[in-house]
Amino acid sequence: MTVSGIQVIEPEITLTTDVEEAIIDKFSDPSTDTRGLSVSVVRFPRGVRRPWSAHTQDQYAWIISGSGIIASKEREIKLSPKTLVFIPANTLHQHGASDEADMTQLSISGGEKPRKTPL
């Protein structure tokens, strides 16, 4: 639905066949021409972490509920609700739920001028 350029978008839900994987509700949509901006809610079951990865754009991860970790090869940081994490473009990292609780995060990535600050 579009009203004066504002669009209501149904989330593109990414479900996996393995219950142990994170569930991602991706809210970005090619029809909005967001120039690489991606917004998603990621729900991690207890103990589940995404594989090591690096993104070509900056990422913010805002922890909504639960507890988790974010790690670089050098260190691991514990996460709790209301924590806002900035992950610079091209930074190898891993994040997900702690072994004690599920975790939900709002993830926003994009930007035209990635920073070079390491985690």
pLDDT digits (tens, 9 = 90+) for 44-97: 999 999 899 998 888 889 999 999 999 988 889 999 999 999 888 888 999 999
CATH number of 9-110: 2.60.120.10
Q: What is the pTM of this model?
A: 0.73
First CA to last CA distance, the chain: 39
Residue 116, amino acid: K
- 19 pLDDT higher than 80: no
pLDDT digits (tens, 9 = 90+) for 103-115: 999 998 886 665 5
Task: Strand 58-66: give its sheet, edge to edge.
Answer: 12-14, 23-26, 38-44, 103-110, 58-66, 84-87
